[in-house]
């Protein structure tokens, strides 16, 4: 299979100040703001229902549409960041995202909800994942897992902090003014943070920031990578897509339905809401720990480990009928799902190189969001028919086993051996 020619990597002295850490911090802030506000949709859910009298299905449909569109556009933004760099893409998407939230304050009809949130907000969010983590992946080699873990942990922190801020704003100023305030904050801070992003060293012919620990020949081979077309002709690409489709299916199903499930069991609403808070909090920790662990034990071993844990805890959910059992579920589930999220770009980089990492990560993100949209809708439909989430959660557990099997049989594209950590020197 033809491989893209990479840029020649030039020797450079190890810099006293590692600018890559500034990029990591900027990307972390952007993800906290973007994904925290995105997942605050549930906080605005009841105010919208009360004011407009829409059904839950119609209102939640905007979130489903947004998930699908941001997944598809992640392919586009990933490709644009591969070509033009993440700063331009993130700046434009930050403006669109802030504008989308400001426009949400003006809605008066259901079509506006679908346009402003389902399309415009989703377009902005699409620039705050694949371009950012692809850029960070190119900055580091030995510490790539840790750095990706730190950046993606912004999702967990954002889902804990921003919804609480949104709830306080709504109680004090109403939902319309709250959307304006959040929109301005997102627009200003994301655009400002985006200006600290830089083209990765490999993209300008230099070695990454921790190049002193890696052989130049290994880096040159890794930098070439597969194009999306070349990757799509491999079995590993489609195995990865199915793996993250399964992940998206049970991730969104749990996110949307775990609180209603808990209240159906007779658990007080406040205690049920704490389940999501625990999942988000453990997500912050899990991304950092699993990302760092992948630097030591390898990406494939990390994938297998977290899939085993998430499978076990999803089967545990079938038995969990008391609050402490659901809290235990939330602890393990939040940790493992965060780990799967952190491993996404690491797996893509190891399998397909860095040349087109943005668009390949975008493709995996599209698989994830497609699975999430189907899972959340199907679970709601199953409950409407059976008046129970038992079958829906059982399907989630089965799909987690499918993900485990795919991870177990995942092999490098270049040979039939075990999936190794290509960042290590021979």
Higher pLDDT, 244 or 59: 244
pLDDT per position as a tens digit, 254-308 = 887 887 888 888 888 778 778 877 888 888 888 888 888 888 888 888 899 999 9
pLDDT of residue 400: 93
DSSP letter for each residue of 10-26: BP-PPPSS-THHHHHHH
Higher pLDDT, 157 or 354: 157
Higher pLDDT, 420 or 123: 123
Q: What confidence category does residue 200 fall into, taking pLDDT thresholds of 50, 70 and 90?
A: low
Q: For residue 284, what are the contacts with CB-CB under 8 A and spacing of at least 6?
A: 153, 156, 157, 160, 338
Q: For residues 191 and 187, what is the distance between their CA atoms, to the nearest angstrom?
A: 6
Residue ranges of the chain assigned to CATH 1.20.1250.20: 18-200, 225-412
Q: Is residue 203 predicted with pLDDT exceeding 70?
A: no
Q: Is residue 223 predicted with pLDDT exceeding 70?
A: no
pLDDT of residue 143: 79
Q: What mean pLDDT is predicted for residues 306-329?
A: 91
Q: What mean pLDDT is predicted for residues 375-386?
A: 82
For the domain made up of 225-412, the CATH class stated in words is: mainly alpha
Q: Which of 92-96, 173-177, 338-342 has the weakest average pLDDT?
A: 338-342
CB 138 within 8 A of CB 208: yes
Higher pLDDT, 181 or 417: 181
For the domain made up of 18-200, the CATH class stated in words is: mainly alpha
Q: For residue 343, what are the contacts with CB-CB under 8 A and spacing of at least 6?
A: 290, 291, 294, 299, 302, 303, 306
pLDDT per position as a tens digit, 128-144 = 888 888 888 888 877 78
* Segment of 42-56, 247-261, 299-313 carrying the highest mean pLDDT: 299-313
**SS3 category, 1:** coil
Q: Which of 60-64, 82-86, 100-104, 206-210 has the weakest average pLDDT?
A: 206-210
pLDDT of residue 209: 52
């Amino acid at each position: 299979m033809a491989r893209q020619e990479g840029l020649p990597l030039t020797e450079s002295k190890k810099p006293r100040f590692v600018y890559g850490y500034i990029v990591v911090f900027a990307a972390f802030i952007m993800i906290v703001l973007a994904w925290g506000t995105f997942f605050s949709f549930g906080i605005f859910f009841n105010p919208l229902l009360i004011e407009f009298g829409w059904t839950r299905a119609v209102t939640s449909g905007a979130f489903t549409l947004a998930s699908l569109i941001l997944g598809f556009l992640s392919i586009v933004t990933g490709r644009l960041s591969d070509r033009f760099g993440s700063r331009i893409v993130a700046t434009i998407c930050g403006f669109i995202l802030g504008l989308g939230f400001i426009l949400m304050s003006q809605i008066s009809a259901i079509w506006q909800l679908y346009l402003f949130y389902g399309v415009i907000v989703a377009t902005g969010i699409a620039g705050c994942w694949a371009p950012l983590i692809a850029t960070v992946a190119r900055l580091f080699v030995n510490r790539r897992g840790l750095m990706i873990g730190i950046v993606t942990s912004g999702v967990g922190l954002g889902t804990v902090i921003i919804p609480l801020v949104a709830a306080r704003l709504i109680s004090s100023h109403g939902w319309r003014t709250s959307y304006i305030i959040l929109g301005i904050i997102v627009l200003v801070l994301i655009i400002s943070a985006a200006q600290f992003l830089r083209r990765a060293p490999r993209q300008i012919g230099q070695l990454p920031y921790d190049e002193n620990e890696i052989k130049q020949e290994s880096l040159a081979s890794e930098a070439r990578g597969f194009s999306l077309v070349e990757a799509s002709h491999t079995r590993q690409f489609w195995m990865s897509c199915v793996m993250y489709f399964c992940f998206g299916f049970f991730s969104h199903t749990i996110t949307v339905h775990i609180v209603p499930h808990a209240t159906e069991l007779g658990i007080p609403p406040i205690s049920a809401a704490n389940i999501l808070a625990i999942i988000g909090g453990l997500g912050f920790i899990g991304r950092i720990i699993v990302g760092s662990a992948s630097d030591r034990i390898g990406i494939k071993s990390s994938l297998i480990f977290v899939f085993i844990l998430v499978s076990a805890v999803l089967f545990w959910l079938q038995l969990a009928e008391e609050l402490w059992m659901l809290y235990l579920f939330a602890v393990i589930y939040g940790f493992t799902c965060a780990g799967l999220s952190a491993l996404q770009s690491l797996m893509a980089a190891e399998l397909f190189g860095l040349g087109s990492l943005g668009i390949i990560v975008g493709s995996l993100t599209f698989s994830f969001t497609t699975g999430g949209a189907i899972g959340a809708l199907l679970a709601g439909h199953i409950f409407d028919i059976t008046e129970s989430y038992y079958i829906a959660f059982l399907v989630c557990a089965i799909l987690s086993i499918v993900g485990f099997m795919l991870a177990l049989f995942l092999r490098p594209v270049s040979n039939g051996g075990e999936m190794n950590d290509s960042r290590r020197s021979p």
